[in-house]
Structure 1
């Protein structure tokens, strides 16, 4: 079995489980898939990848809330656009910090917050659990591939 098929299999199984978990816990299933997408897109495996995915997603939630709150202070449409431009700049510029350097993760967190109409209390746990599911999907797929590999356990000299 190829690595792609192994990861596809475990991702399919865990996606079904995620759907059940999301409904059971009252989370946003699509929000979790955005967290999962962040982990897969990052191309950095392991706990560091989980941490970076969560950090950038949460920064995106923060920036979306900044846009939402500041845009409601002045009832002029142009102000909202200016705030959005300034915040989008900050969302990219923060990538100078190594723990926030995955810009797509920031925008994913922000978009999830806008899609949930600013309900950050629901978005945050959905994204975090989604990132963890993304980690599990990929890790179990790699494990399955190694187990089914004909050379598993052999030492190559």
Structure 2
């Protein structure tokens, strides 16, 4: 079986299971799929890729909260929110100098999920993280199946 077919098969099966898990546990299924996406998109695979994806997703949630709460502190001055967004976006990129934060798209995925949830980080965080582990399982179980003769 080709690698692509094996990963497609395990991704299909585990996506169905994820959908059930998300509903059963009250998680945001769309945010979980973003967690899956982060693992698949990370250039580093394996456990290290899982760690990097986790760190960047978590940092994105944090930075989104900084923007949300910082902007709310000066609601009459919308320019403060714009300036804060510019500064934080810069930091979200420059933090990639640290190897564990080197996957910039993961940081933006975490931030976007937080914005999309209207700052409901309590729902976004577990959804992203459980989804991330599903992404790891999807890809790596497919790779395992593809290696079997």
Range class of TM-score, shorter chain: over 0.9
Name the counterpart of 1:3. Answer: 3
Q: Which has the larger radius of gyration?
A: 1
Distance 1:65 1:146 in 2: 42
Name the counterpart of 1:124. Answer: 125
- Other structure's SS at 2:73 match: coil
- Other structure's SS at 1:44 match: coil
Name the counterpart of 2:19. Answer: 19
* Residue-pair matches, total: 148
Superimposed CA distance per residue, residues 1-51 of structure 1 (whole angstroms, 9 cap, x where no aligned partner): 211011001000000000000000110101000010000000222111111
Name the counterpart of 1:29. Answer: 29
Name the counterpart of 2:107. Answer: 106
Residue 146 (structure 1) shift:
1.6
Name the counterpart of 1:59. Answer: 59
- State yes or no: 1:68 paired with 2:68: yes
Superimposed CA distance per residue, residues 86-133 of structure 1 (whole angstroms, 9 cap, x where no aligned partner): 000010011111110100000000000000000111111111111100
Structure 1 segments unaligned to the other structure (5+ residues): 153-157
Distance 2:138 2:15 in 1: 8
Residue 77 (structure 1) shift:
1.6
